[in-house]
Structure 1
Amino acid sequence: MSKLTLIIQREFIAKVRNKSFIMMTFLSPLLMVGMGALVFFLMKKNDEKVKEILYVDNSGLFTKVDFTDSETIHYLDYTSFGIKETKKKVEGGDYYGALIIPKQDSLEILAKSIEFYSKDSPGMSIMDALESKIETKIRNEKLNNFGIDIDQINASKIQSDIKMYDFSGEESSKLINGLKIGLGAIAGYMLMMFVMIYGTSVMRSVIEEKTSRIIEVIVSSVKPFQLMMGKIIGNASAGLLQFFIWGVILLIISTVASSIFGVDMVEMQTAKLSPEQIEAAKQAAGSDKMQMVVQELLRLPILKMFILFIFYFLGGYMLYSSLFAAVGAAVDNETDTQQFMLPIMLPLILGVYVGFATVINDPHGSIAVLFSYIPFTSPIVMLMRVPFGVSWYELAISMTLLVVTFVFMVWLAAKIYRVGILMYGKKPTYKDLYKWIKYKG
């Protein structure tokens, strides 16, 4: 058995036997589901609380019909009590807020002179609801002044439902676009988090062995390059095992939750969609919501996404782990790593920002395509693009560049690694790293 294989086995076994690894492997999915359920429950409880808003209409323009109650807002007409008394009621904490509508000669001036008082800062949804009611009423009043029949305008309104097809004749929908956005964003963000977690794990492992002087014994019989590759591949194997276990646990949890507890999967999915996508989902899900979601999910290239996730996880992880290993070999303690961490982390963070800023709006735009080719950002950006359909030649370019860059960075990092692991007592600089790379001994 080769020395590299022995190192890989040693790192893998040491990782999976770690108590924290075992605990987080089985507890993380439960914690994720629990946190999601808690957030969903808190959102529901927050929406259930009815907020009472007092309004004083000195303009005489608004009626009770204009302030129709909703599920979360209840309006009370306090015009007869006056502004001063109404403010006292709200200030005393009995009510959520007070809307003061003054008397003005001009509708334009009235629209800009309405005031809202509350003890605490009001939520954006509350203010949007109030502004919408005010704008609708004033606009209708202006139309009446212009002699325009509002009933005819309302009767002329119509909703369009554009059916989407590709050139093969397959029908698409707004819901599947929302699912693509969600799956791509989750995949890209998860990859960034795990690359950071397992990359820093390799770095800490190198620092620990270096500070305990075990490394001096190991390198006497193993080449530094083999040792670095063994650590990277061993940790990657442990990470893939953890992914597999998480996938099985989450599948079991989702199956049990949907069949036993009757979880409304469509409602949970549409919580992250735009209002138009939510409306489309509700209309399409009138008879069998769960079946609709399953049908839409089956349209997605799940197998392709899974295979590419594994590839880009391994490629991105190995690329960044080689850099983390080189940093771990260069320093004596974790505190000294800070000056080298930022340049490594920036491309990962940039990939997430570029993905959310460009891929969601235009997955095939020039910026999204460019960053899905750049090896330091492609693992994240390309994963976000895959659900929207990416040609094989684009994937081939991205994957080839990633592999070539990984091989080059491993070779470069190994040069730093072979010198740095035996250096003690000096805080390295970028100049020192450059000298180590050029060293030919």
Structure 2
Amino acid sequence: MNNTWLILKREYITRVRKKSFIVLTLLVPFLFIGFIALEIYLAAGAAPQQLQIAVLDKSHLFDSLWKDDTHFHFQVLQQPLPNDSLSSYPATHGADGLLYIPDTLNILRPAGIRYFSQKKLPLESYVVLKSKLENALEHLRLSQLHVNMQMIDSVKNSIQVNIEQPLTRASELQAGVSIAIAMICGFLIYFILIFFGVSVMRGVMEEKVNRIAEVIVSSVKPFQLMLGKIMGIAAVGLTQFLIWIILILVLWGLLHPLLPDLHAQVQNMQPADVSANEQMQMLQSVSAELLKLPLLEIVICFILYFLGGYFLYASLFAAIGSVVDQDASDAQQLTFPITLPIVISFLIALRVARDPDSALAVFTSLFPFSSPLVMVARLPYGVPWWQLALSLLLLAITFLFTTWLAAKIYRTGILLYGKKVTLKEIARWLCRKK
């Protein structure tokens, strides 16, 4: 155990002192906050400019429609205009455009509505204006058929069935929050396994190419070497993520006061029928449903499955790194059987997030190679304690077994140079008694 600790310490100190580690650790939070700031700037600047629209409605069917909003300021013309002056009116009167509606408009087959402008009408503004006219025509048609609009609105009322179950699925909103949490946790585990697993493989490859491993293997057992290297790189990754979180929070705290008008700008971009009270009620509802979830259990299990899944796949990546030199094609071919279960597990987790009690969900949440992703997708819905205990036990046993296999591969592969290793040869190494 002392040798494992020494390898862990060496791996950790060596990596955190590298310039690449320092630069990447400091650069990523700035890039992340810069990206968010750019998105905020573009979102705030993307608010539609209010267009000055002159309206000549000879049909007088839309008199109640011309109310100003965030997109348009309407100026209703009372006097008719000659047809030859319609196209030049916006330029001569300082308007952005002229909307012309003829007196011969047929609401069943509307035709003849024209828009004159010296510049192109923005797509968003066009969609809003077209929607206004279509909704008004719909009401006119229904009025001609003597249809009561209140009756139509009444039949559109939605119904919600509260399902009383021991698990947390009492409402559609709560189900949506659970799905979102499950997908976020699954994606984080997926990213961590891929990123850190490849880091372990590259670390082993570097030691093999530099002939450092020849000296280490002479005084340390392969199992201890594998365990120390895997835990050391995990500690480096956790340190990096912790620094990233702290820096991102600090930078966000510094950035937030620089955007005092952001809230008002975003509010102006909201649809007119969505009030501030409705938005606040929606946020409060989401927060309330979020608090109903077993958050402490989710966080604890997320950490356990992160560590278990990382150790499991990192040991396999380490074994691959010990049998390849610098040939990237060899590494890609041998890592494909390892990355494929991770990708498949991620796809299954997306399905399980919507159907957490299916036979597929239960089996894959217990199967060690898929449980780190699938089980975290089931956690927001509640999982029986015996399934959690069995899943973690199987994951721990599989991790120890794969680490032992990786050590056997490492013992032979780390001293093998200039030869392309096949899967058949690796299987033969594993069958050796010593």
Q: Same fold (TM over 0.5)?
A: yes
Would you say 1:184 and 2:179 are equivalent positions? no
CA RMSD of aligned residues (A): 5.1
| CA spacing shift, 1:174–1:51, aligned 2, 3 Å | farther
| Corresponding residue for residue 198 of structure 1 | 196
Letter in 1 for 2:218: S
Within a 5 Å distance, the mapping from 1:295-314 to structure 2 comes to 297-314=290-307
Please give the secondary structure, in 1, of the residue aligned with 2:415: coil
Within a 5 Å distance, the mapping from 1:410-421 to structure 2 comes to 410-421=403-414
CA contact (8 A) 2:168 2:292 kept: no
The 1-side partners of 2:209 and 2:421 are apart by 15
Letter in 2 for 1:314: L
| CA spacing shift, 1:440–1:297, aligned 2, 3 Å | same
CA contact (8 A) 2:169 2:175 kept: no
| Corresponding residue for residue 339 of structure 2 | 345
Deviation at 1:204, TM superposition (A): 0.9
CA contact (8 A) 2:348 2:374 kept: yes
Within a 5 Å distance, the mapping from 1:194-343 to structure 2 comes to 194-250=192-248, 283=278, 285=280, 297-336=290-329, 337-343=331-337
| CA spacing shift, 1:372–1:216, aligned 2, 3 Å | same
The 2-side partners of 1:146 and 1:43 are apart by 43
The 1-side partners of 2:285 and 2:304 are apart by 30
CA contact (8 A) 1:195 1:320 kept: yes
| Corresponding residue for residue 24 of structure 2 | 24
Would you say 1:390 and 2:379 are equivalent positions? no
CA contact (8 A) 1:11 1:234 kept: yes
Greater Cα radius of gyration, structure 1 or 2:
2
| Corresponding residue for residue 419 of structure 2 | 426
| CA spacing shift, 1:230–1:45, aligned 2, 3 Å | same
The 1-side partners of 2:194 and 2:121 are apart by 38
| CA spacing shift, 1:161–1:34, aligned 2, 3 Å | farther
| CA spacing shift, 1:423–1:239, aligned 2, 3 Å | same
| Corresponding residue for residue 150 of structure 1 | 149
Deviation at 1:203, TM superposition (A): 0.8
The 2-side partners of 1:427 and 1:81 are apart by 85
For 1:396-420, what per-residue CA distance to the aligned partner results, in whole angstroms no more than 9, with x for missing partners?
2332332233233223333322222
Deviation at 1:5, TM superposition (A): 1.8
For 1:88-121, what per-residue CA distance to the aligned partner results, in whole angstroms no more than 9, with x for missing partners?
x9xxxx989x9999x99895x879xx999xx999
CA contact (8 A) 1:257 1:263 kept: no
The 2-side partners of 1:396 and 1:366 are apart by 18
CA contact (8 A) 2:169 2:381 kept: no
| CA spacing shift, 1:55–1:157, aligned 2, 3 Å | farther
Letter in 2 for 1:283: E
| Corresponding residue for residue 379 of structure 1 | 372
The 1-side partners of 2:257 and 2:296 are apart by 24
Aligned length: 422
CA contact (8 A) 1:53 1:95 kept: yes
Letter in 2 for 1:150: M
Please give the secondary structure, in 1, of the residue aligned with 2:47: helix
CA contact (8 A) 1:204 1:334 kept: no
Letter in 1 for 2:149: I
The 2-side partners of 1:16 and 1:170 are apart by 43
| Corresponding residue for residue 33 of structure 1 | 33
The 2-side partners of 1:357 and 1:121 are apart by 42
CA contact (8 A) 2:408 2:430 kept: yes
CA contact (8 A) 2:183 2:350 kept: yes
| CA spacing shift, 1:169–1:217, aligned 2, 3 Å | closer
| Corresponding residue for residue 11 of structure 1 | 11
Larger CA deviation: 62-71 vs 27-36:
62-71
The 1-side partners of 2:182 and 2:299 are apart by 11
Would you say 1:354 and 2:348 are equivalent positions? yes
Deviation at 1:73, TM superposition (A): 6.6
The 1-side partners of 2:395 and 2:299 are apart by 18
Please give the secondary structure, in 1, of the residue aligned with 2:46: helix
Deviation at 1:227, TM superposition (A): 1.4
The 2-side partners of 1:376 and 1:169 are apart by 26
| CA spacing shift, 1:189–1:231, aligned 2, 3 Å | same
For 1:242-264, what per-residue CA distance to the aligned partner results, in whole angstroms no more than 9, with x for missing partners?
33444444555666777997798
CA contact (8 A) 1:174 1:280 kept: no
Deviation at 1:50, TM superposition (A): 5.4
Please give the secondary structure, in 2, of the residue aligned with 1:47: coil
**What 5-or-longer segments of structure 2 have no aligned partner?**
none
CA contact (8 A) 1:175 1:280 kept: no
CA contact (8 A) 2:352 2:374 kept: no
The 1-side partners of 2:81 and 2:378 are apart by 59
Within a 5 Å distance, the mapping from 1:127-138 to structure 2 comes to 133=132, 136-137=135-136
Deviation at 1:13, TM superposition (A): 1.7
**What 5-or-longer segments of structure 1 have no aligned partner?**
none
Deviation at 1:220, TM superposition (A): 1.6
Would you say 1:2 and 2:19 are equivalent positions? no
